[in-house]
A and B are shown apart, each in its own frame.
Chain A
Amino acid sequence: MVGHERGGQEGPGQVNHAFHHPAILETQQALGETTLIADAAQIVDLCRYLKDSEKFVRLSSLTAIDWHPAEPRFEVVYHLHSIDPIRRLRVKCRVGGENPGIDSVTGVWRSSNWYEREVFDLFGIRFRNHPNMVRILMPIDWEGHPLRKDYPVHGYKYDYGQRKD
């Protein structure tokens, strides 16, 4: 498969280059992709370093994974893209607790505005210092966060036999 069998050599996804920042806890290489595990408290500082010093000018996407019932429960995933040279990088932060939250990176990439709203909407992770932390896909008065693993897939009308009339 072209683009996948790059093995050990440097490809667009794999960055064989050490990043030096105190927020980086671990660097993983798998399937030709590089992942940085970072400290959630220093994410803005790390993102600014990656954008300014390592030329990751684009935030390709920002999403989250729910590892319910593990604790810390959520992983916030940043996919960065550098145009010159072409490189991709994944940054992951673990957040958890009763009210999961992480600092917003809207000050680094303005595009993260909508992605962070989407993660808040679907996972219930709050982004501190975000200019407009409201739901984006679900109706504004919706209860619950649909992409959490403990949120049901089907609505009430499928609970046949459970209604006590």
Chain B
Amino acid sequence: MSNVKHPFDDHVATIPVLQETPASPAAPRRMTLNMGPQHPSTHGVLRIMIELEGEIIVRAEPDIGFLHTGIEKQCETNTWAQVVTLTDRVDYLSNLGNNLVYALTVEKLLQMEIPPKAQWMRVMLAELDRLNSHLVWLGTHALDIGAMSMFFYCFREREDILRLKEMFSGQRMMTSYIRPGGLALEPPRGWEKAVGKFIRAFPSKVDEYESLLDSNPIWKIRTQGVGFISIEDMLDLGVTGPMIRAAGIPLDVRKTEPYSSYEKFDFIVPTRTENDVYSRYRVRMEEMRQSARIIVQAMEGMPEGAITADAPHVVLPDREKMKTQMESLIYHFKIVTEGYRVPAGEAYQAIESPRGEIAYYAVSNGTSKPYRLYMRTPSFGNLIALPTLLEGTLIADSIASLGSMDFVLGDTDR
């Protein structure tokens, strides 16, 4: 055996602990409770150290990083084209959204024009992904609170969306379908019929979920007036997405800084003012209806034309052309072996993911690999507010508050 000692050999994990506050006559004894990382209602591997005084949470300290896989480091060793497959794995409930933000960032650096059909397709797929993510959120959130049957209803529709994603890209989850320069493949034959059949039936399904939950008094009692966090705190802590919209701020990147032709679609940004778990649920339900509207508009107004930009040095050539034309073969070989070069510079592109503002910051030094790719993920950004959200509330409400944030731990830890 090697006598070189590796740091892994005597690796003993030190777990951060919350020091208990000593009891005094003025303050009763406090209890420290460890929640997670394997608790089902933490939706992944989130550990929260909670200090309790009776049933009131006095301090809450999240411990993240259990799913850290060094994706940003891996991005630096892959070519710009290969990184697409890594972006799928960041937020595993919104793969197409991650593909989209990466593609937009690289296209910004390349200063590339994308044909309208590809833009419309991207919008439609990103909205299908929003439905997918919101359905998983609704099912699991309701399951946490005790409305078990919601889970089955939501996953029924989610299955349809996964089938559509498979139809388009060949993959149910890790799609890699939206790539710098356009789309990976020509949309499959008969996609209009498949998407149309799903989306025409969908609004009535949302009504069904609402009638199931809103007629349930337990659901209302457990969500209304629970999980309040002030607007000032939210802005200061950088919260985005449905959380901040449920507090009355119509902050939605699709409206404020439209990308991929979103300004050509007619939709509203739903907001509420109650700023509790129930209003976040209502905002997301309304968002599902708006997403369905956008998908219908995208389908009806789908432009004709190419699905990739006219940039042979970036976009992989058509398979048939590659076999018959020398130039296509050369480009194919160059893209696959060396990768395409991206001009030196930096770009920051934000889009609206189902959870909030997702932004990629790409730095290029002119080579075929990213020099640095930073992912500003909405789950990480929103989890910063978790201590503020939980402190001072009842432990029994913490599950509802946690669920209303809708975080994905893969997205948090990257």
B14 within 8 A of A: yes
Q: How far is the CA of A151 from the CA of B12 in the complex (A)?
A: 21
Q: Is A17 an interface residue (CB 8 A)?
A: no
Nearest chain-B residue to A2 (Cβ)?
B261
The size of the chain A interface, using a CB distance under 8 A, is 49
The answer to whether residues A111 and B381 also contact, given A1-B113, A2-B259 and a CB cut-off of 8 A, is yes
Q: Indicate if the CB atoms of B107 and A4 lie closer than 8 Å.
A: yes
Report the bound CA distance from A136 to B413 in whole Å: 9
Query: Out of B6, B258, B361, which one reaches A2, CB within 8 Å?
Result: B258
Q: Is the CB of B70 within 8 A of A60?
A: no
Shortest Cβ distance from A65 into B: residue: B372
Indicate if B371 sits at the interface (CB-CB under 8 A).
Answer: yes
Q: A65-B363, A65-B371 are known contacts; what are 19 more A-B pairs with Cβ within 8 Å?
A: A1-B107, A1-B108, A2-B263, A3-B259, A12-B256, A13-B348, A31-B346, A33-B347, A63-B376, A110-B384, A111-B237, A113-B384, A122-B72, A135-B65, A137-B65, A138-B65, A139-B13, A141-B13, A156-B8
In the assembled complex, B16 has its CB within 8 A of some CB on chain A: yes
7 contacts between A and B (CB under 8 A): A2-B259, A12-B256, A57-B235, A66-B372, A77-B374, A147-B72, A156-B6
**Which residues of chain B are within 8 angstroms of A153 by Cβ–Cβ distance?**
73-74, 76-77
Q: Do A134 and B74 touch (CB < 8 A)?
A: no
Set of chain B residues within 8 Å of A4, measured between Cβ atoms: 107-108, 111
Decide yes or no whether B114 CB sits under 8 A from chain A.
Answer: yes
Kindly specify which of A19-27, A36-44, A82-90 makes contact with the partner chain.
A82-90
CA distance A134 to B64 in the complex (A): 12
> How many B residues face the partner with a CB closer than 8 A?
62
Q: Report the Cα distance A136→B193, complex, angstroms.
A: 47
Contacts of B258 in A (CB 8 A): 2-3
How many angstroms between the C-alpha atoms of A141 and B11 in the bound complex?
Answer: 8
Q: Are B376 and A60 in contact, with the CB atoms below 8 A?
A: yes
Chain A residues with CB under 8 Å of chain B are: 1-4, 12-13, 30-33, 35, 57-61, 63, 65-66, 77, 79, 83, 86, 88, 90, 109-111, 113-114, 122, 134-141, 143, 146-147, 151, 153, 155-156, 163-165
A141 adjacent to B111 (CB under 8 Å): no
A161, chain B: closest CB distance, angstroms: 12
A-facing residues in B74-102 (Cβ within 8 Å): 74, 76-77
Q: Which residues of B contact A122 (CB under 8 A)?
A: 72
B119 and A2 form a contact (CB under 8 A): yes
A164 to B1, CA, bound (A): 8
In the complex with contacts A2-B259, A137-B413, A114-B380 CB distance below 8 A: yes
Contact B348 A137 (CB under 8 A): no
Q: Is the CB of A79 within 8 A of B376?
A: yes
Judge whether B34 is part of the interface by a CB distance below 8 angstroms.
no
A163 CA to B1 CA in the complex, in Å? 8
